[in-house]
Amino acid sequence: MILRWLRGVLGAALIGLGVLFALAFEARYWRWRDCFNELGRCYDPVSQDVYLEQAGMVWGGLAAISLPAGIWLIASLRRKPS
């Protein structure tokens, strides 16, 4: 019973983290995907930030790992225990 509860909490936490990672991916890479130069950098003159193309791989990868893992944990709770 405790293990089942722990799986639910961990699944919900992973889904929450996945959503946060997806938001970071959108803010740090997706908005600027057409701006990157040959060095993989994009300068925003308004906020004076430099965005890196590698950030897309990091944030997107973390979202792609944590979201399915959390969904799988939550979906496994619906199965009847044997």
Closest CA to 61 of 9, 16, 12, 24: 24
Residue ranges of the chain whose pLDDT lies below 50: none
Q: Give pLDDT, residue 31.
A: 92
**Range(s) of the domain holding residue 8:** 2-77
The number of domains in the chain is 1
Judge whether 82 lies within some domain: no
Q: Give pLDDT, residue 82.
A: 57
Are 59 and 28 spatial neighbours (Cβ–Cβ below 8 Å)?
Answer: yes
Total residues belonging to the chain: 82
Q: Give pLDDT, residue 2.
A: 84
